[in-house]
Amino acid sequence: MAFDVRAGERTTDILDGGAADEPGPATLRLDGRVALVTGAGSADGIGYATARRLRGLGARVAIVSTTRRIHERAAELGATGFVADLTDEAEVGALADAVSEQLGDVEVLVNNAGLASRASPEVLRPVAQLTYDEWRAEIDRNLTTAFLCSRAFIGGMAERGWGRIVNLAATAGPVNALPTEAAYAAAKSGVIGLTRALAMEMVADGVTVNAVAPGTIYTAASTVAELKQGLGTPVGRPGTPDEVAAPIAFLCSPAASYITGQMIVVDGGNSVREAEFR
C-alpha cells in the first residue's frame, strides 16, 4: 500500500506493490558489489578515503590512477589497483575490460580523477593568457575522464537494473569562481551538466547519478593559500578527505535510491554565508 501524494490518502494502485512493500529499511551495505574509484593514487586524497569507506561497506574495490603508486594504495586497502590514462578512450576501454575480468561487473563508479595535485597542478591563468592546450588539458582531466568512464560502464549497469555513479565536481564553477581558474571552473560546471543529463537518461534503468562538490579540503596537494581559505570558512577549518568520502559513500549505497541528478556541496558552509562573521 502506497501513499498518494496527490490525494493525501493511502492507495494501493500508485506503486503497484513497488518500493513501499519492500521489507525493512534500505541498507548502506555494498556487500559483494564491485566498485571502481578513479584518481585514488594519493594516500591523503579523496579517492583513497572513498575507496576505504566503500571497502568498509563490503564492496569489492578497484582503484586507478596514472602512476604505479596505485599498487601501494591497493595493497594498503585490500583493493585491486590499475594504471591508466583516463583521458585516453582506448585506455578507458582496456581498464573496463581488466576490471570486469578480475573483479566482475562494475556496479558502483566514483569519478574522482581530475582533481589537481602537485604532480599535475591546476592551470592558473586569466582567460586572455590561457592557451588552447592548457584549456583542453583542464577540460580533459576534469570532465572528459568522467564522460569516458561513465560511458564505459553505464551499459552494464542498465542491463543489470542497478548502479551508482558519483562524480566529483567542486564549488569552483557550479557555485562560485576565482580569477585565473576559468578552465577548471568550466570543467567542473560541465561535470554537473553531465551528472544531471546522465541521471535523466539512466533513471528508468535503476541507475542513480549524483555529484559531490568539495570546497577547500586539506590534502597533500593543498597549498598554503588554500589552507588559509579553509580557515576562513564558517566552520573555521578546511575539510578532510574523509568528510567528502562520507557523502560519496552514502550516494553509492542502496539507501540513496531516491536521490539522483543532485549535487551535494561539502564546504563547511562557505557557499551559504552572505558575509564574513568571524
Q: What are the two backbone dihedrals, phi and then psi, of residue 80, each rounded to the nearest 5 degrees?
A: -115, 125
How many CB atoms lie under 10 A from the CB of residue 193? 13
DSSP H/E element including 134: helix 132-139
**Residue 63 · residue 73 · CB < 8 Å:** yes
Q: What are the two backbone dihedrals, phi and then psi, of residue 157, each rounded to the nearest 5 degrees?
A: -60, -45
Grid coordinates 549535487 are at which residue?
263
Cell of 270: 562557505
**Residue 135 · residue 183 · CB < 8 Å:** yes
89 has which bridge partners?
none
Query: CB within 8 A of 174, min separation 6: which ones?
Result: 188, 189, 191, 192, 213, 263
C-alpha 213 chain-centroid distance: 8
Q: Which residues are catalytic?
A: 184
